[in-house]
Amino acid sequence: MRLDLLMMTIAGLLILPAGAQGQGAGNDCANASSQMEMNQCAAKQLSAADAELNTIYKELVHKLDSAGQGYVRDAQRAWVTFRDKECIARAGGPQDQGGSIWPMVVAMCRTELTKDRIVQLERQRKCPGGDLSCPDQ
């Protein structure tokens, strides 16, 4: 694994939100001490980001006509494919999948890109296409 990716991953772990706690003993993300616990915490953060993304996506789709819904649906499917492939590439490619840190690196990348997508969809939800007066355009 590249050193810069490893350093980015470690830095990301150091800034895990204190409130990102799991359920049950040993799942306190702020105090995760094993790679398995860190992988689980990264997966929980991804799950939370995905849930928020799905909520905003549904709100956006409900505001659109059927043609707009089709475009957003297709764009979202393409984005998910991009996100997943991009994160595998950032994690060193599929050949590194056997490493214990690999699931965490991929989950953290997916969380980062998902949060970016949330901002994009939220902007689109607030500022419908074609509205040039919208400050977020």
Report if residue 89 sits inside a domain: yes
CA–CA gap between residue 2 and residue 13 (Å, rounded)? 17
For the stretch 18-71, pLDDT in tens is 344 344 444 588 889 999 999 999 999 999 999 999 999 999 999 999 999 999
Report if residue 50 sits inside a domain: yes
- Give the per-residue pLDDT at 15: 41
Token digits of residue 81: 């494919």
Report if residue 42 sits inside a domain: yes
DSSP H stretches of helix in the chain: 3-14, 35-62, 66-90, 102-126
For the stretch 73-102, pLDDT in tens is 999 999 999 999 999 999 988 877 878 899
Report if residue 135 sits inside a domain: no
Q: What is the CATH number of the domain that holds 53?
A: 1.20.1270.180
Report if residue 132 sits inside a domain: no
Domain membership of residue 47 as a residue range:
34-126
Report if residue 78 sits inside a domain: yes
Number of structural domains the chain divides into: 1
Report if residue 19 sits inside a domain: no
